[in-house]
Amino acid sequence: MPAPTALARPLLLAALLLTSACAASLREATTPAPPDRPLEVPWSLNPELLLPSTKHIRFVVELMQGQPPELAALDDLVRVAAHYGGRPASWTLRARPAPLTLEPDVSYVFVKYVGHQLPSFGRAYARRAGDRWVYFIIINQEIHRRFAAFVPQRRLEQQTLVHEYGHLLGLPTPDHGYYAQYPDLAGGMHCVNPDCPLSKPRPRALLYNIFHAAFERRYLEDYCEQCRHALSAAQAHWRTPKQRATGLPEAAP
């Protein structure tokens, strides 16, 4: 396989041609959601991470394998979480196998850097811990090196972290989501917009983002307009007097 620097010129030329149009022209086609997926506000978004149901969101970072994480990328993730969670957020490094007691008024997201143990950029999931949910982001920080000739490593890790955190929030919603292998749903739903961190890393999205990173120094630091609208709509729904009286729905994994 040619070195990334050898690929830079043709890829950037292709990106320039592809992105001469607006991002909307490069959208993926929305695909039907599974029958059991809620199709109305608040969809299956996560109230624990989108409302101040706890006092703090804490990211517990563990280096399992590979190079150390880009600390600035973790700072970026914390800013996104605090903004949409309506409360302070922070990250802390955990030395394994140091024991950890879960504080009752803190939402926990464990970020595990596993290098080549993971074949993709990252994945996210939730697990039950007693009567609460605990969230996980697994990241292959080594795979980003393949693209470091186009986009700084910090920005690549940032996009993966924000992407996976978006899945924990419940994004994207069915009105602007697609499955890359539809009708196979195994790969999960992703955002149709190439200018969103929740987009699947497919050719049109990759080239769109390489172009803007290389020529405009513009990176995917926040979710697209449709994703932000969905988050706002869900938060407004949960905050109505009726919802406050009946209680909030349980966070979905």
pLDDT tens string 167-177: 999 999 999 99
d(CA 13, CA 236): 43
Please tell me whether residue 134 adopts helix, strand or coil conformation: strand
The one-character DSSP state at 144 is G
d(CA 191, CA 200): 7
Residue type, 253: P
Residue 115 pLDDT: 93
Residue type, 237: H
Contact 94, 107 (CB under 8 A): no
Q: Average of pLDDT values for 109-133?
A: 94
Judge residue 222's burial from the number of C-beta atoms within 10 Å of its C-beta, 0-12 exposed, 13-18 middle, 19 or more buried.
Answer: middle
pLDDT beyond 80 at 253: no
Q: Which of 9-13, 83-87, 98-102, 185-189 has the lowest mean pLDDT?
A: 9-13
Q: Average of pLDDT values for 198-209?
A: 68
Percent of the chain's residues with pLDDT above 70: 77
Q: What structural domains and CATH numbers belong to the chain? A: 1-45+170-240 (no CATH), 47-148 (3.30.379)
Q: Which of 37-41, 172-176, 245-249 has the lowest mean pLDDT?
A: 245-249
Query: What average pLDDT does the chain have?
Result: 83
pLDDT beyond 50 at 50: yes
Judge residue 38's burial from the number of C-beta atoms within 10 Å of its C-beta, 0-12 exposed, 13-18 middle, 19 or more buried.
Answer: middle
Give the best-scoring range by mean pLDDT among 97-106, 158-167, 202-211, 240-249. 158-167
d(CA 107, CA 133): 8
